[in-house]
Amino acid sequence: MLWLSRVTYQPHTDDNMKVTALLIICSWLLLGSLGKPQFPEQEKDPKFWNTWAQRTLKNALTLQNLNKNKAKNLIFFLGDGMGVPTVTAARILKGQLNGQSGEETLLEMDKFPFVSLAKTYNTNAQVPDSAGTATAFLCGVKANEGTVGVSAAAVRSQCNTTEGNEVTSILRWAKDAGKAVGIVTTTRVNHATPSAAYAHSVDREWYSDSEMPAEALQAGCKDIARQLFENIPNIDVVLGGGRKYMFPKNKSDVEYPNVLKHSGTRKDGRNLVQEWTDRMKDKKGHYVWNKKQLLSLNPNNVDYLLGLFEPGDLTYDLERNTDNDPSLTEMVEVAIKILRKNPSGFYLLVEGGRIDHGHHEGKAKQALHEAVEMDRAIGRAGLLTSIHDTLTIVTADHSHVFNFGGYTVRGNTIFGLAPRVSDIDQKPFTSILYGNGPGYKIVNGARENVSTIDYQENNYQAQAAVPLSMETHGGEDVAVFAKGPLAHLLHGVHEQNYIPHVMAYAACIGQNREHCLAHSGTAGLRPVFSSIAAILTATRLLC
């Protein structure tokens, strides 16, 4: 094997070679003692791989019949911080959670027929943040880091650069076209990604007026929570966290009445939730703050829904109170069932936002479980919609300095150790490592020995090369998965701001609507396939 050859021929001291050789021998003995092969027996037969490849080839050939329907519905899944290494590791984790070795598993997004890459840089940053990127993939223009819903002419934290530099999002374009629109996130609903859908702010951290400088308030700039309810007042569905930013300062939280940090933050004394409830009382509007309330709703009797399930971000899925807090999949299902009632279709933004937080904290296990949960939500959305009239896109805003390696054997737990110790300090290391972050630790002047701690614990912080209190984003391109009408327009390598233009073109909203009407006044895009053709095509794509 490759790693064995490298071990053999690298220069070591005699002691190092003995330690390494002993570890290798023990590893092979252990594997042999398990009484089962490292990989399925059928994989030894070339016919297995050839048959699989031929089946994949035949499926690929069917894609020449491109789906050129008009997209009635648009669903955009954003895995915050879900770079390609995270996608791969989440795929392995998903398989291992199902009792498989993991590598051969398919994520729901893996099944999408078209995959491309997006360049994520901000106008003023080589390695981007989630605000500037959100402005790109929602508003169609690249922007400065730290700003949402404004062009690159706006300067972060300078209120007087806001006016005249506002840019609108695809959520707004869809709403103006008569579609239902929704936002579902595992972060605060006024966090960077969702806020770019409705807000225009030169600072992503102006969550409520208490986070804003006095001069910005005096100059007329609005906090992001306020803009959620005022800029596009009739967003049909909003589900996520961020309760405390909607209530007057020091007002006790309904779920954590004795926890001061969860109390309201607004200095203006406004109760935005109550204002929304009053406005929607005759419009089949409902406000919920826990899972039981959410799942007890009959979507047929709900036209508008506001759900705020935590004072701040939702808890990690691994730590979620399953009796009280809904999963991302549950929120997505309720949202789609409400939005799809609109005869003109819908636009839905879904963010798996805490993938990013897990990585920042160096907690790979939290991040990867968040990614697997988002993939479940993608699968559920697919069951609730049709590939023939629904364009679904899955991507990330940016990556992280997260990776896994170490010549691990097939089926090695994704959170496990590499099969050999370091040839420098003779200590083991986990396959998952970070380029920087809080996992950097020195014990007695040397790297910590991970075999002395529980490195598979939920909140274990993987070792990092450079000490930082928070791990950083990565700057490489991110994958873009697409299926549905005109999904083939996402191909090759594109600027990130290209994405909403494709979605708008497919749905005949926003710019470029000339192609939607033929001279006779009928739709220029092909009508939806017959039900028989739809079933056959779906079968080819899913099998």
The answer to whether the CB of 244 falls within 8 A of the CB of 253 is: yes
Which ranges of 361-445 does DSSP label H, i.e. alpha helix? Answer: 364-384
Cα–Cα distance between 164 and 160 in angstroms, integer? Answer: 10
Cα–Cα distance between 25 and 420 in angstroms, integer? Answer: 10
Q: What HEC string does 440-500 produce? A: CCEECCEECCHHHCCCCCCCCCCCEEEECCCCCEECCCEEEEEECCCHHHCCCEEECCHHH
Cα–Cα distance between 88 and 436 in angstroms, integer? Answer: 20
By DSSP bridging, strand 442-443 and strand 446-447 are antiparallel
Cα–Cα distance between 40 and 280 in angstroms, integer? Answer: 57
Cα–Cα distance between 234 and 3 in angstroms, integer? Answer: 58
Read off the amino acid at residue 267. K
Helix (H, G, I), strand (E, B) or coil at 73: strand
Is 477 annotated to bind ligand? no
Residue 21 makes CB contacts below 8 A (sequence gap 6+) with 7
Is 522 annotated to bind ligand? no
Is 323 annotated to bind ligand? no
The answer to whether the CB of 262 falls within 8 A of the CB of 253 is: yes
Is 519 annotated to bind ligand? no
Q: Quote the strand ranges of 92-153, DSSP E.
A: 114-119
Helix (H, G, I), strand (E, B) or coil at 112: coil
Cα–Cα distance between 425 and 135 in angstroms, integer? Answer: 45
Give 494-526 as a DSSP string: EETTHHHHHHHHHHT-SS--GGGB-TTSSBSSB
| Beta-ladder partners of 184 | 239, 350
Long-range interactions of 147-154: CB distance < 8 A, separation 24+: 147/201, 147/202, 147/203, 147/204, 148/192, 148/195, 148/196, 148/199, 148/200, 148/201, 148/204, 148/224, 149/195, 149/196, 149/198, 149/199, 149/200, 149/201, 150/200, 150/201, 150/202, 152/123, 152/124, 154/202
| Beta-ladder partners of 69 | 526
- Exactly one of 130, 169, 208, 263 is catalytic; which is it? 130
Is 129 annotated to bind ligand? no
Is 80 annotated to bind ligand? yes
Active site residue 33: no
| Terminal Cα-to-Cα distance of the chain (whole angstroms) | 33
Cα–Cα distance between 454 and 96 in angstroms, integer? Answer: 19
Is 397 annotated to bind ligand? yes
Cα–Cα distance between 233 and 219 in angstroms, integer? Answer: 23
Would you state the structure tokens that stand for residue 296, as one six-digit string?
């007890």
Distances (CA, A) of 211 to 150, 268, 311: 19, 12, 15
Annotated binding site for Mg(2+): 80, 191, 193, 351
Annotated binding site for Zn(2+): 80, 356, 360, 397-398, 473
Annotated binding site: 80, 191, 193, 351, 356, 360, 397-398, 473
Residues with a catalytic annotation lie at 130
